[in-house]
Structure 1
Amino acid sequence: MTPLVAGHATGIGSWPGTDPREAAATVVGELPGLPHLVELPGRGLGADTIGRAAALLTDFPIDTSTTGYRTGARRSVIARRAAGLLSADLDALEEAWEIAGKGPGGAVKVQAPGPWTLAASLELAGGARLLLDRGAVRDLADSLGDGLASHAADVSRRCGGARVVVQLDEPLLTDVRAGRLTGRSRLESIPAVATPVAVETLDRVVAASAADVILHACSAEVPTDIAHESRVAALAFDLESVRTASLDGLGTLLDGGTELLVGAVPTTDPQRPLGVDDVLRDLGRLAHRLQFAPEVFAARVGLAPACGLAGASPQWARRALTTVRDAARAMADDPSLLTR
C-alpha cells in the first residue's frame, strides 16, 4: 500500500500573503512529495477556513452574519467570492505544477473544515449554532463529502491525475465532544457529542469524499480514539501538544496502520534558531516514548509545521517548509538519526 504521508513533508494549509501564484510556486517547489493547495486568509471573507467551505458544499448555501457565517436560503455573494478565490488558487496550483515539470502521478493535499468544526462555527438562520440541530449536522456532513469528492476530482485533473489526499481540520472537535462550547445566549446550552456520533458523522464525510483522509486536530487533547475508530487513514497533530495520556493512543494507531503527520516546527518565527537536527531530536524522543524502533517509526510518520502558517513571516513560512522537508528526507534515509 502506498504511504499516505509517511516519509513526506507537507504543509497544514494556510499561508501568509495574498498572492496565490507566489504561494503555489513556493509550496510546490519546497514540498515535492506532498504539496498542498494553500489557503490565503489574508484576502478576507471567503478565503478563511470556514469561508472556503462555502465554495465546497453542495446544495448547502452559506452566508455571512454579524457574528460570522450562517446558513442561507440561496447562493450568496460570499459563496460566489469564495468560489472565485478557490478557482484562482486552483489555477495557481495547476500552473505551478506544470512549471515544476511534475508529470503524471504524484500526490497533492487539499484541506477543508471537518464536519464538527464546521457545524460548531456555522449559525442557523435564527442565530443558534448549527451544532444543535443533528439533522442539519448530517445534511452538512453529506454536503461536505459530496463537495470534497468533486473538488478532489478537479484537483486531480488539473495536476496530471495526481492522487488527492483530503485533510479535515477539526480544531473544535475535542470541545464539541466535551460539551465545552457555549451557546449564542445564556439560555442556549450545547450538550456533549458522544464518541459514536462523532465517529459516524466523520465517517459520512470520509465515505462520500471517496478519498484518503487525514484528521487534523491541533488541540492539546489529541483525539486518538476518534482516529482509531473512524475511517481516516492518518492523524495530524502538534508535537508540542502531546500529553502522556495520548501516548497509548498514538502507539495503538501506529500498530494498527494509521499514519501520523507530526507538526514538528512552530507556526511563527521561533525565538531561537531551529534546524533539522532539532526536529530529529524531538522526533527521536517521541519514538522512544512510544517504544517504537526508529526504522518502524520513520516508515509510518510524515512531518509538517504545527499548524497553518498564515501568521508567520514569509521568511519563516518558507524556512518552516524547508526544515520539515529536509528532516523528513533525513529520517527516511537514515532512521538511526532519531537515536542521536
Structure 2
Amino acid sequence: MTTTGLGSLPGEDIREWTKVLLEAVDVPFLAELPARPYGDMLSRAIAVLTELAADLQPAGWRLTGGSDPRASVDQRRARSLLAEDLDVLEELAYGYSGPLKLQVTGPWTLAATLELPRGDKVLADHGARRDLAQALAAGVQQHVAEVRKRVPGAELLLQLDEPALPAVLAGAIPTASGWGKHRSVDGPGAVELLSLLTTAAPTVVHCCAARPPIEVFTKSGATGLAVDISLLNEPAWEQIALAAEAGATLYAGLVPTTGALADPERTARPLLRRWEELGLDPALLRTTVITPTCGLAGADDARARLELCRRAAEVVAEFANS
C-alpha cells in the first residue's frame, strides 16, 4: 500500500518540501507551491508549453499568437522557476531510485482556462485546442525526458490535472461574455486529445468531481485514476469498480485538505465501506495509492495530513489482505 500527494503544497520553500516528500510519501513528486509567483498549476503548464507563447494578463494566462518563446517575459519567468525546481530535485534526489511523479494541467482544463489572443477561451476554437494539446504533449515529452536525465533512477509517473473536464463535457464552461456556455465536447473527442498526453509516461488523471469521466480517462490510456472519495456518486462508483477490475490503479483521496483530522480507521472507512457494498474483491485494493482529497496549498498542517495518508494506508492494506 502506497501514498502520495496531488501536487500543491503550502509555502515557498521548494528545497524543504523536496526533502520532506522524498521521505514522507511512497511516491515522491515535484511539488507545486502556488504561494510563489508562477508557482501554480497553470503557470507550470505554461512553462512546459514550449511550442506556444503566452503572457499573463489580469484575467489570467493568454496565448499571444506567436511561437517565439521570447515573446513573453511571464512565460520565461515560469520556465526559469521550473528549471530552478528541477535543479533542487536533481540535487536532493541524487542516487534516488523508485517512483517519482510529475503533475501538469491536462489539455481540457488548460483549454478551458487559457485565453486566445482575441480574448475567448481556447476551448471555443476546435483547431486552437488541438494545437494546444499537441504543443502540451510535446512539452510534456521534453519535461519527462529532462527529469529522466536528471534523476536516472526514477520510475516516472505523469499526473494530468483535469478539474474542468466534467464541465467541458457538460457544456458548462462560460463564454467570454458570461451570457452563454461553450458547446459541449463529446466523449470520443475528449479521449482523442487526452490520449496525446498519456504516452510520455504511465499516467494518472486527477479529477475531483461527483462524477469524474472515468471511462474517458481509461480509454485515453490512463492507468491511474485520482478521485476524491467523499464526492463520488453512485454512477461514479460503478465506473470505479469497472476500472479497478480492469486493472486501473485507484488514487483514493481520503484525507481532507481542511478541517479536523480523524483517526486512520475513520479516514479509511468511506473507501472500505463502499468496496464491501459493491462486492469487490478486497485484494484489488492492494495497489491503491492513498492521497489527500485534493492539493494541500491551503493546509498549514500539510505534513500531518501526509502522515495521516500513511496511517490510513495501513488500515486499507489490512483490509486488502484480509
TM over 0.5: yes
Interval of TM-score (by shorter of Structure 1 and Structure 2): over 0.9
Candidates 271, 282, 289, aligned match of 2:277? 289
Aligned to 1:17: 11
Kept after mapping to 2: 8 A contact 1:37/1:109: yes
CA–CA distance in 1 between the matches of 2:145 and 2:80? 18
Aligned to 2:107: 115
CA–CA distance in 2 between the matches of 1:156 and 1:22? 22
TM-score by length of 2: 0.94
Aligned to 1:129: 121
1:217 matched to 2:207? The reply is yes
The verdict on how the C-alpha distance between 1:279 and 1:118 changes in structure 2, with shifts beyond 3 A counting, is same
Q: How many residues align?
A: 318
Structure 1: state its 5+ residue gaps.
Answer: 1-6
Kept after mapping to 1: 8 A contact 2:210/2:236: no
Kept after mapping to 2: 8 A contact 1:254/1:300: no
SS in 1 for 2:173: coil
1:186 positional shift: 4.8
List aligned pairs for 1:1-340, cutoff 5 A.
Answer: 7-31=1-25, 33-44=26-37, 46-72=38-64, 73=66, 74-75=68-69, 76-98=72-94, 102-103=95-96, 105-186=97-178, 189-207=181-199, 210-268=200-258, 270-271=259-260, 273-296=261-284, 298-313=285-300, 316-332=301-317, 334-335=318-319
Q: Superposition RMSD on alpha carbons, in Å?
A: 1.7
SS in 2 for 1:181: coil
Identical amino acids, percent of aligned pairs: 37
Structure number with greater CO (CA < 8 Å, separation at least 6) is 1
Q: Name the aligned partner's letter for residue 220 of structure 2.
A: S
Q: Name the aligned partner's letter for residue 283 of structure 1.
A: L
1:55 positional shift: 1.0
CA–CA distance in 1 between the matches of 2:214 and 2:276? 18
CA–CA distance in 1 between the matches of 2:100 and 2:320? 29
CA–CA distance in 2 between the matches of 1:128 and 1:188? 12
1:84 positional shift: 1.4
Q: Name the aligned partner's letter for residue 112 of structure 1.
A: V
1:41 positional shift: 0.5
1:326 positional shift: 2.8
TM-score by length of 1: 0.89
SS in 2 for 1:260: strand
Kept after mapping to 2: 8 A contact 1:203/1:230: yes
